[in-house]
Amino acid sequence: MIAGKKTQMVLPKARFHDLEGRGVLITGGGSGIGAALVEGFARQGARVAFIDIAEAESRALVERLSSSSEHRPVFIAADLRDLEALTSAVNGAAEALGSLDILVNNAARDDRQALEEVTGTSWDESQAVNLRHVFFASQAAAPHMRRAGGGSIVNFSSIAFMLNMGDIPAYAAAKAGIIGLTKSLAGKLGPDNIRVNAILPGMVVTERQRKLWINDAAIEAMMAKQCLKHMLVAEDMVGPCLYLASDCSARMTAQAMIIDGGVF
């Protein structure tokens, strides 16, 4: 609770019956927003696989959800910066799930770096972690979705690139790039009945954010800009993602959905 504001950290109660039995792959699903998405899809009865580099957190998540989900989530350990490993992970997920209907490109890392400290190596590293894998995961998933008769790709961008934040130049560029990539992929994959949309979260307070970047003062300052005076948490991103993955948004593609409490 921040400054007397109550924040509900619960998953959506809405039921998307068309997601039952669907094959869902989520990148960066071991913690934070990704873990909430894994749980959200699992509770809809979907067959869920997720890719992450953090094995301990990911295996703990699988064990926690195994007793409460119809289908035990599948964890695939892989470094998304390694394109060969990424492609293998996507194909492995499709095989383990029986089909691949939904891809959620969630993985990201919002490292701070001063303008004067950015190097070619650090820039390329940020693009590999935040942008490049979004394309190559989609590239690997597309053939599986074509065989399934269509699908939905949900890319996670961020409002960060619209906030003029001076200490995240590479991250901001990557998150802005995801919007352009979403539209390009939507144009290419639309004839195959594959929809591609993006979610732009606001300042979502996760354990990692609390540890590295965000304190109560920062939360209060952002909430003052929001129309809805609630601290955003990982679970707040689940409902919008379920909607974009489901048939409820069957004619929606090439769109960017902002979930920030009303900053923009």
3-state secondary structure of 153: strand
Rounded to 5°, angle at Cα 259 from 233 and 8: 30
How many angstroms separate the CA atoms of 144 and 195, rounded?
14
The alpha carbon dihedral of 229, 234, 236, 237 has a sign of positive
Please provide residue 24's backbone torsions phi and psi, each rounded to the nearest 5 degrees.
-125, 130
Sequence-separated contacts (24+) of 98-101 with Cβ below 8 Å: 98/23, 98/47, 99/22, 99/23, 99/144, 99/147, 99/148, 100/23, 100/25, 100/141, 100/144, 100/145, 100/148, 100/151, 101/22, 101/23, 101/24, 101/145, 101/148, 101/150, 101/151, 101/152
Residue 43 half-sphere exposure toward CB, CA atoms < 13 A: 18
Q: Tokens standing for 215?
A: 């304190």
Q: Tokens standing for 60?
A: 């703990």
Q: Which residues touch 241 (CB under 8 Å, ≥6 apart)?
A: 37, 40, 104, 154, 199
Catalytic residue list: 171
Specify which residues 59 forms β-bridges with. none
